[in-house]
Amino acid sequence: MLILPAIDLYEKKAVRLHKGDYAQMTVYNDHPLAVAEDFAAAGAQWIHIVDLEGARDGTTPNAAVVTQIVAKTGLHVELGGGIRSLDTARRYLDAGVSRIILGTAALTQPEFLAQALQSFGERVAVGVDCRDGLVAIRGWTQTSAVTCEDFCQQLQDLGVRTVICTDISKDGAMQGANRVLYQKLTKQFSIQFIASGGVSTLDDIRALSQMGLYGAIIGKAYYTGAIDLKKAQEAAQ
């Protein structure tokens, strides 16, 4: 199972939100590149980056930071937040981003998702952000009427290969991953799932790995020192 340490970007800084609340933001580092370099030094191969302003507003204010991380670390970067047009997607992929994550646009503009899949294939992933069983959009500031399971079924039918599934109630809360949710999804669908939200112990990582998940994202647990990145990667084997 892949371990993907995370950087959430806001005003070109590395931050974390608590349960997706922009009012509960902690700045961990003014220099995201330094954080990414630490990840690389610890043996990470992939990094998960979210442009929080992009996710909320549909803009790309942190694009320069992302391209700098791609150019200087050699890490595979998967990126979400603000990718709501083919031009934006192409710009990031041409700059060396390995995989783009569509969130809001995947739900609200299914024709755009289909076009992106046709143009970029498996370099397109989709973020399914779950709040009380329903898909949240626009940087988690709105909740749709679509269930997470129905959305995953739509994505599988469209040919989406990779889904980053976040349980918002767990995100940044350090209370453990929603193992029941991920167990259910991996049994129900043939998608590559990446778990996100609440992964806070090596036990979480071992359990998710044993379920056959494709990956797990580590955010706050890394920044607070609760999880050592090298040990996390060993636990995922």
Q: Kindly list the catalytic residues.
A: 8, 129
The residue ranges of DSSP E strands in 68-202, in sequence order, are: 76-80, 99-102, 124-131, 134-137, 142-147, 162-167, 192-196
**Residue 216 burial (CB < 10 Å; 0-12/13-18/19+)?**
buried
The two beta strands, 13-18 and 21-29, are antiparallel
Do 91 and 67 touch, CB atoms closer than 8 A?
no
If we measure between CA atoms, which residue out of 195, 200, 183 comes closest to residue 1?
195
Tell me the residue type at 88: T
For the chain, the residue count is: 237
Query: Per DSSP, what are the bridge partners of residue 48?
Result: 6, 78
Distance of CA 113 to the CA centre of its chain: 17
- In the 8-state DSSP scheme, what is residue 198? -
* One-letter identity of residue 184: K
Beta bridge partners of 208: none
